[in-house]
Structure 1
Amino acid sequence: MIRPQRQAIITVCYHLPYPTISTPFVWPVHGGRASSGSLIAGTVGDDSGDSISSKNDWYCELTPMYWAWRNHPADFYGVMHYRRFLNLLEPIGRSDFIGDRSLAIESLGLDEHTVLDTMARHDIVVPVKTNLQAAGMGQSVASQYESVHFASDLKLCRDAIASISPEYIAAYDEVMHGHEACFYNMFIMRACLFNQYCTWLFGLLFSIETAMNLSTRDRYQQRAPAFLSERLLNVFLNHRSKCGSLSCFERQVVRVTEAGHFTALVD
């Protein structure tokens, strides 16, 4: 049976009960449904079809992303979080009180018209880059990672890239030695680019998962595949931009609370 193709699918990852925001293409997804006792109200599970839902403790928002990639054809794909969204409209002030979380779609330009109009002009939308030096978070992307995670993760990752996709080594080194990157594992991108990214990213992470001995780590550090993927999105885009034209649109990240407070996390 051929599944109908949708124009856009933006997965919004939930791992605990929280007021959902949804449209025909903004999908609240229960990340890690396979290991949960019950489905979070208002969401769909990431455990049907081809799925890595059982690895959610390690892969976080990547399990809904994988599920969408492997099971639901679309023209554009996006990843956001239950409290963090990309703002496709004019940047908001540092903190605004909208008063109604359900207005996030309209207030942040995540309606169908704005999303499709934006993607007609760009290949990918990502968060505004964070300058780590200016933010007092380290001298480089690599040193910032090493200050809060396992330094050995970066060596495993680089070794795997050298073995599996050596054409990405230059981009990896440039990003890791640089002092700015987009974080949060959030984006909207064209399907062709998304397919290339997922094939590369998951192939890489699966190849180093065992060597990281994740089961021996505390729950926070078990999330290494998700932490690495934040940096690897930058590596992928760096490489792709050097292979040809790539229209990358940087936008503000906004935190939306249950009560309707909108706070700019990235200006």
Structure 2
Amino acid sequence: MKILIATHKPYQIPEISGYQPIMVGSALRDEVPAGYLRDDQGENISSLNPFFNELTALYWAKYNLRDEDIVGLAHYRRYFGTKSSHNLADILSQEQIYDALEKVDVLLPKQRNYYIESQENHYLNAHKNEPYFMMQDVIKESFPEYLSAFQQMGQSKKAHLFNMAIMKQADFQSYTDFMFGVLNQVAQRIPYESYEGQDRRVFGFLSERLMDTWLYTNHKTFQDFPLVTTEKTNWLDKGSQFLKRKFFKNTNKKVHF
């Protein structure tokens, strides 16, 4: 088992069997802390980290962790937990992960519910619109078997976000085949290198809409887990930013607190 903890800076990393920190965008950094994996060794897209975010860790894992039975991704400030808390002692243990994967195919963070708008509308209010519609075109043209689930995801008010998941190797390869297959074609059709601000993280945001698309198309079973977070959320700021994105389209947009 290897649960990668994606980080872009030195950070307090929990010492739990099966978990391993990885410095994303290692190719762009002067130094990587001792004990951290690098995402720029072997087959990799480390230099594209400004556009792909934590997905550079997933890409590295796809080609460099093929001997692991179970592969997963957490963030330096977000983990799968037994309950929602800020206590690292509540992070899922290796044994709990093994037990859960005996019952379901994929372990996921608790779904985010936006209540007053669909996933498609939420994305379009928060991000550049062209990449989303281009992704829809790519799925329609090259992955038509996924189109129905993609449209279902778009109309849902709920989604599994953060690109976090834990699954067995065969499912991991299936998921990343689909996800990177779609994103690579989108990358050929949009001028992502000219994007500025948070829009430069385009592929990390797009990919969040592909997890549920893959899950439902392939009829995968899953279990949701609450998040253990190392930093507290400013819910007042988060709520006000959500309303600004929805009702004031031309304001500066802030997502993923």
TM bracket (short chain)? 0.7 to 0.9
1:112 aligns with 2:94: yes
Pairwise CA RMSD: 2.1
Tell me which residue corresponds to 1:126. 108
1:191 aligns with 2:173: no
Tell me which residue corresponds to 2:73. 79
Q: Provide the TM-score with structure 1 as the length reference.
A: 0.82
For residues 205-258 of structure 1, give each alpha carbon's deviation from its aligned partner in whole angstroms, at most 9, with x where no partner exists.
Answer: 0111132211111131011111011111111111111xxxx321011112124x
SS of the residue 2:170 aligns to: helix
SS of the residue 1:226 aligns to: helix
Tell me which residue corresponds to 2:48. 55
Give the partner amino acid of 1:168: Y
Q: Tell me how far apart the structure 2 counterparts of residues 194 and 183 of structure 1 sit (CA, whole Å).
A: 16
Q: Tell me how far apart the structure 2 counterparts of residues 31 and 204 of structure 1 sit (CA, whole Å).
A: 21
Q: Tell me how far apart the structure 2 counterparts of residues 201 and 44 of structure 1 sit (CA, whole Å).
A: 23
Tell me which residue corresponds to 2:244. none
The equivalent position to 1:233 in structure 2, one of 211, 214, 226, is: 211
Tell me which residue corresponds to 2:37. 44
For residues 59-108 of structure 1, give each alpha carbon's deviation from its aligned partner in whole angstroms, at most 9, with x where no partner exists.
Answer: 11111111111011211111110010011x2x24xx55x4xxxxx2x422
CA, structure 1 residues 61+181, in 2 after alignment: closer, same or farther (shift >3 Å)? same
1:27 aligns with 2:20: yes
In the TM superposition, residue 40 of structure 1 has moved relative to its aligned partner by 3.1
Tell me which residue corresponds to 1:101. none
For residues 166-213 of structure 1, give each alpha carbon's deviation from its aligned partner in whole angstroms, at most 9, with x where no partner exists.
Answer: 011111111101211111111111211111010111011011113221
For residues 8-49 of structure 1, give each alpha carbon's deviation from its aligned partner in whole angstroms, at most 9, with x where no partner exists.
Answer: 111110101212224452110000001111113441111110
In the TM superposition, residue 112 of structure 1 has moved relative to its aligned partner by 1.9
Tell me which residue corresponds to 1:254. 228
SS of the residue 2:210 aligns to: helix
Give the partner amino acid of 2:62: W
Runs of 4+ in 1 over 6 A off after TM superposition: none
Q: Tell me how far apart the structure 2 counterparts of residues 262 and 140 of structure 1 sit (CA, whole Å).
A: 23
SS of the residue 2:42 aligns to: coil
SS of the residue 1:113 aligns to: helix
Q: Tell me how far apart the structure 2 counterparts of residues 228 and 117 of structure 1 sit (CA, whole Å).
A: 31
Q: Which runs of 5+ in 1 are unaligned?
A: 1-7, 99-103
SS of the residue 1:11 aligns to: strand
**Is the Cα–Cα contact under 8 Å of residues 35 and 54 in structure 1 kept in the other structure?**
yes
Give the partner amino acid of 2:223: F
Give the partner amino acid of 2:111: K
1:202 aligns with 2:180: yes
Give the partner amino acid of 1:132: Y
1:13 aligns with 2:6: yes
The equivalent position to 2:118 in structure 1, one of 135, 140, 147, is: 140
